[in-house]
């Protein structure tokens, strides 16, 4: 399947749309290539993408520097095949989207709450990035395997 307007849309939601959802969006795009359209949004968008989230993804070759913080309501007029919430607050307020078939809830710690030196905070961002990467790459592998079944 090529990446077109008809490709299924996967929407990753969290509260602030500054860290976890953007990392998940970038990681899933990198894993799935052209098979899905992937976007992220928040229930209370922060208005920015956290610089440390951008930095730790760039460390593994994924550029999310052009991402913007968006409200989840921006997607209410679109067919969203799958919603994935990555924090409890977003899961509790998540609307049902047109065309929605799947909803997964995979909560991760919020690295934006990390304290300490920059290096200590980076370690938290890296840990959360790696946890998100394992889950979302496994999700993509499952979707790919499912598509190959006769």
Quote the CA–CA distance of 64 and 26 in Å, as a whole number: 6
Give residue 4's pLDDT band: very low, low, confident or very high (50, 70, 90): low
The fraction of the chain above a pLDDT of 90, given in percent, is: 78
User: Rounded mean pLDDT of the chain?
Assistant: 91
Indicate which residues carry an active-site annotation. 14, 87, 94
- The answer to whether residue 3 scores a pLDDT higher than 70 is no
Q: How would DSSP label each residue in 35-48?
A: S-EEEEEESS--SS
Domains of the chain: 9-138 (3.40.50.2300)
- The answer to whether residue 124 scores a pLDDT higher than 70 is yes
Residue 5 has a pLDDT of: 61
Tokens of 86: 């990555």
Which residues, 6 or more positions from 127, have their beta carbon under 8 angstroms from its beta carbon? 109, 111
Residue 148 has a pLDDT of: 79
Give residue 34's pLDDT band: very low, low, confident or very high (50, 70, 90): confident
Q: Which of 23-27, 61-65, 88-92 has the lowest mean pLDDT?
A: 88-92
Which of 83, 77, 121, 76 has the alpha carbon at shortest distance from 100? 83
pLDDT in tens, 66-122: 999 999 999 999 999 999 999 877 777 778 888 889 999 999 999 999 999 999 999
Residue 2 has a pLDDT of: 41
pTM of the model: 0.91
């Amino acid at each position: 399947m090529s990446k077109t307007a008809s490709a299924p849309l996967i929407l990753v939601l969290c509260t602030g749309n500054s860290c976890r959802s953007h990392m998940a969006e970038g990681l899933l795009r990198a894993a799935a290539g052209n098979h899905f359209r992937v976007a992220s949004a928040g229930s209370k968008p922060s208005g920015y993408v956290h610089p440390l989230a951008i930095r730790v993804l760039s460390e593994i070759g994924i550029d999310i520097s052009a991402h913007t913080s968006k409200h989840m309501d921006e997607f209410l007029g679109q067919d969203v095949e799958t919603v994935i919430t990555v924090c409890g607050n977003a899961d509790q307020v998540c609307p049902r989207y047109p065309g929605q078939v799947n909803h997964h809830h995979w909560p991760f710690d919020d690295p934006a709450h990390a304290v300490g030196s920059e290096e200590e905070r980076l370690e938290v961002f890296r840990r959360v990035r790696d946890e998100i990467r394992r889950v979302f790459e496994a999700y993509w592998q499952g979707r790919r395997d499912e598509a190959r079944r006769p």
